[in-house]
Amino acid sequence: VNICLTCSHTVQHSLSQLCAVMVKHETPDRWPALLQLLNQSTKSSNSHDRQVGLLLLNKVVDSNPEPFKPHYCQLLQLFSTVLQDHNNPTALYYCILTLTAITAYTGSEEMNQMRSIIPSLIIALKHLIMADQDQASEAMEVFNELMESEVSIIVPHVADIVRFCLEVGVECLDSLRVKALSCIAFLIKLKSKTVLKQKLLNPILQAIFPVLTAVPPAGEQDPEDEEDDSGDGTDNDNPKHCAAQVRKSFITMPFAQTCLASENPYQRKGGLMCLAVLAEGCADHIRTKMLSSMLQTVCQSLSDSNQVVRSAGLFALGQFSEYLQPEVSKYCAELMPLLLGYLSSLNQAKAGHVTKAFYALENFMENLGSDIEPYLPTLMETMLSALNNTENLKIKELAVSAIGAIANAAKELLVPYFTPVIESLKGFLTTTTEEMRSLQTQSLDTLSVLARTVGKDVFSPLAAECVRLGLNLTDTIDDPDLRRCTYSLYSAVSTVSPDCLTPHLTAITTVMLLALKSNEGITEDKTFVLLDDDDDDENEEEEKDAEDFLEDETEADVHDVAGFSVENAYIDEKEDACDALGEIFPHEDVRRAAFGGMGQFCRAQHKVWKDNPTEANHQALQKLLDVVLPCFLETVRTEHERQVVMGVLESMNGIIKSCKEEVFRNPSRLKEVSHVIRDVLKKKVRRETDGERWLEDKYLNPHAQWQTGPSLWWQADCPIVCFPCWWLG
């Protein structure tokens, strides 16, 4: 490792990565030469040696932080010194990255040291910003890690952190501004009372006001206003949207009203964006006290002379429709004509603005139910016209999605339009071209909605053809999103005409089970790269080796890899395959296995995150838990079959044991889980259908021999520790 000090930067970087791989197998206490080199180099009087030492320290600690825990106090003393070395930005960079890596593993003994470092950390980040804003953007993650792991460390320094982030949010590159504004938003979410108590509200609002209302450079537009924009206007990589997200944490109507009264269209746009995000952050207050006046303001913006303002108004209306239900539906008579009029007069070449119009329309229609009937002829005429007369594929996709939303509200009222809709969808459903793929998957989703809503008599004649369509598509096209949509289609058909699935069950279940077992979409995150990116032949060989590794190697060898990344499309496919199997096969064994599979997904994603602790992996884990755990809790309360509920409780037990505190990152989750346990123990869950046995009898005396009928259903030597037993000790 001493070679590291005298080599070129590329070689130093590669040797550091090699050491990081070795530390996974040879802990630092058994490698004294490494510790000696780190101690010597990081404290060297030579600035270059300190850089190299901190690079090496960062790589080895980041690869395996926990074995270094006995050295954390010593490391924090080192960081305190390095953070004063303002003339060595590279050293600052690696120092802050290493601090970020150990933060989640620090305990109470390091708390005071961590707290005392914060002022030096802020000053060091300011110097790093002046030297390299890209590195500074990465280093800013340290604040998120501190807030997620131990927010009490930064509470005494809230004012300094907020002021620093506000300076960054005004003056720097967009990527760094986004990080800074996101940090403020996160801090407000965690410690809003502290922010208010320290009188930081006005400085925050005054600093982000110019960001929110800034006019783009001459000849340019904001990303969400560009004609090729295809999103719903919620791109959080945009400083304006991050600024709006900060503002949603407080009632900021005076600022919004000032913007809305301005002659500057970008200030009017800023005011509408502020109202839009307030609908999410302050929904209860708006629903009860301000809905009518705010809706009037937004509706007036739809007739503004400036397209930028009209587009922001549509976004705000979409947010209102999403977050202010059901009260906003009472304004159906005022809002639906406006939306329909807007759709009929749109210049359809501007896909970005059309997207926002459909976003508002879909969210508003979702809760209308039968109240949609007076508007149904105009709605369907608009949608069918878009499908048949527009060349723009994005417009067609939006119209197909809107038809699904209309069907959810209208249900049997849509029957008169069913035939022309199906005729329009047929061409999209059978296409094999890549450019049509997004439209095709949306058409499959809408077809599934139609199967569930228009009634059995209307849809049954198409059921068999839908099953054949799905199988043909999965045979000819390799796309996880498309396969996911076919699973939903099979589920929908099973509710209408289950007999149509019987001849194809083997083929259908084979595809789904292959999806559940597949390693597709899993890629290796390597820690050791010695080769240049240009060496194509070598890289191809490495990729092949990685594929072989995933197929053939044993579990023990997985530890040679820093972690795995799983594309969201493949995770979604696995989740939908489980859901579809549960609906197609309502047998308790299949449903119990499906719940077990969902638990395994959570534990697997937790392992992915622990091995490769990126924010993306953490968000994927939390998203999965937010889907799976509410489903588990609802099943325990409502499921009739005892075996299924036993499986759910055992699976939930496994998730909590593996994922630990991540399960309860959502503050309400612990309360929900506790209430379900209480209900089980107090006999408040459903009886079995035969009324003979109670689920909770098992859990009140789980290790006793308990006779029901001819056989024992719970053995005294049971090897399983059930969830309530574990919980109650």
pLDDT exceeds 60 at position 386: yes
- For residues 222 and 213, give the distance between their C-alpha atoms in angstroms, rounded to a whole number: 11
Mean pLDDT of 281-286: 79
Q: Using N-to-C axis directions, what is the helix angle for 291-301 and 332-345, rounded to 10°?
A: 20
- For residues 636 and 648, give the distance between their C-alpha atoms in angstroms, rounded to a whole number: 7
Which range is least confidently modeled, 46-50, 92-96, 194-198? 46-50
Residue 687: DSSP 8-state:
P
What distances in angstroms separate CA 462 from CA 294, 426, 469, 605, one per listed residue?
Answer: 45, 12, 10, 39
Higher pLDDT, 156 or 729: 156
Instruction: Determine the pLDDT at residue 127.
Output: 92
pLDDT exceeds 90 at position 56: no
Mean pLDDT of 287-294: 84
Which range is least confidently modeled, 127-141, 344-358, 538-552? 538-552
Quickly list DSSP for 206-256: HHHHHHHHPPPPTT---GGGSTT--S-S--TTSHHHHHHHHHTTS--HHHH
- For residues 715 and 578, give the distance between their C-alpha atoms in angstroms, rounded to a whole number: 30
Closest CA to 57 of 114, 6, 95: 95
Using an 8 Å Cβ cutoff, are 724 and 677 in contact? yes
Higher pLDDT, 515 or 315: 315
- For residues 692 and 708, give the distance between their C-alpha atoms in angstroms, rounded to a whole number: 8
- For residues 568 and 578, give the distance between their C-alpha atoms in angstroms, rounded to a whole number: 16
Instruction: Determine the pLDDT at residue 104.
Output: 84
Instruction: Determine the pLDDT at residue 541.
Output: 47
Using an 8 Å Cβ cutoff, are 651 and 596 in contact? yes
Closest CA to 192 of 294, 92, 281, 318: 281
Quickly list DSSP for 247-285: HTTS--HHHHHHHHT-SSHHHHHHHHHHHHHHHHHTHHH
347: how many CB neighbours lie within 10 A of its CB?
A: 9
The amino acid sitting at 557 is: D
What distances in angstroms separate CA 1 from CA 11, 33, 124, 156, 716, one per listed residue?
Answer: 11, 8, 29, 41, 57
pLDDT exceeds 70 at position 107: yes
What confidence tens digit (pLDDT) does each residue in 506-543 have?
888 888 888 777 766 555 544 434 333 444 444 444 44
Instruction: Determine the pLDDT at residue 512.
Output: 81
Mean pLDDT of 619-631: 90
DSSP lists the bridge partners of residue 343 as none
Quickly list DSSP for 673-714: HHHHHHHHHTT-SPPPTTSS--HHHHHHSTTS--EETTEESS
What distances in angstroms separate CA 563 from CA 124, 244, 360, 399, 554, one per listed residue?
Answer: 30, 35, 40, 40, 15
Mean pLDDT of 605-613: 88
pLDDT exceeds 80 at position 271: yes
Q: In the numeric block, which tokens belong to residue 246?
A: 């900060």
* Whether this model's pTM surpasses 0.75: no
Higher pLDDT, 628 or 34: 628
**Which residue is it, tokens 């009188």?**
199
Instruction: Determine the pLDDT at residue 564.
Output: 46
HEC assignment per residue over 376-420: HHHHHHHHHHHHHHCCCHHHHHHHHHHHHHHHHHHHHHHHHHHHH
**Contact partners, residue 578, CB within 8 Å, separation at least 6:** 516, 594, 597, 598
Q: In the numeric block, which tokens belong to residue 552?
A: 């053939």
**Is the backbone of residue 95 left (phi > 0), alpha (psi -120 to 50) or beta?**
alpha
Phi, psi (deg, nearest 5) at residue 525: -100, 105
pLDDT exceeds 70 at position 671: yes
CA Rg value for the chain: 29
- For residues 50 and 152, give the distance between their C-alpha atoms in angstroms, rounded to a whole number: 31
Instruction: Determine the pLDDT at residue 253.
Output: 64
Instruction: Determine the pLDDT at residue 177.
Output: 81
Using an 8 Å Cβ cutoff, are 401 and 442 in contact? yes
Q: How far apart are the first and last CA of the chain?
A: 49
Higher pLDDT, 719 or 328: 328
Instruction: Determine the pLDDT at residue 647.
Output: 87
Using an 8 Å Cβ cutoff, are 653 and 726 in contact? yes
The pairs formed by 394-397 with CB atoms below 8 angstroms and a separation of 24 or more are: 394/230, 394/351, 394/354, 394/355, 395/348, 395/351, 395/354, 396/428, 396/439, 397/438, 397/439, 397/442
Instruction: For Cα atoms 84, 89, 94, give the angle at the middle one, nearest 5 degrees.
Output: 90
Paired sense of beta strands 707-708 and 563-566, if any = unpaired
Which range is least confidently modeled, 165-179, 195-209, 507-521, 697-711? 697-711
Using an 8 Å Cβ cutoff, are 451 and 496 in contact? yes
Which range is least confidently modeled, 155-164, 442-451, 575-584, 680-689? 680-689
The amino acid sitting at 504 is: H
Q: pLDDT tier at 711 (50, 70, 90 boundaries)?
A: very low
Q: Using N-to-C axis directions, what is the helix angle for 89-103 and 47-63, rounded to 10°?
A: 20
Q: Using N-to-C axis directions, what is the helix angle for 437-453 and 393-410, rounded to 10°?
A: 10
Mean pLDDT of 31-50: 76
Q: In the numeric block, which tokens belong to residue 579?
A: 């859901």
Closest CA to 579 of 502, 496, 646, 635: 635
Phi, psi (deg, nearest 5) at residue 43: -105, 10
Which range is least confidently modeled, 46-55, 255-264, 275-284, 550-559? 550-559
What distances in angstroms separate CA 726 from CA 196, 237, 503, 717, one per listed residue?
Answer: 41, 43, 44, 16
Q: pLDDT tier at 464 (50, 70, 90 boundaries)?
A: very high
Q: Choose the most confident range, by mean pLDDT, from 330-344, 346-360, 489-503.
A: 489-503
HSE-up of 558 (CA within 13 Å, CB side)?
14
What confidence tens digit (pLDDT) does each residue in 184-199 have?
888 887 787 888 888 8
- For residues 313 and 27, give the distance between their C-alpha atoms in angstroms, rounded to a whole number: 58
508: how many CB neighbours lie within 10 A of its CB?
A: 21
Paired sense of beta strands 522-525 and 563-566, if any = antiparallel
pLDDT exceeds 80 at position 381: yes
Q: 722: buried, middle or exposed (CB in 10 Å: 19+, 13-18, 0-12)?
A: middle
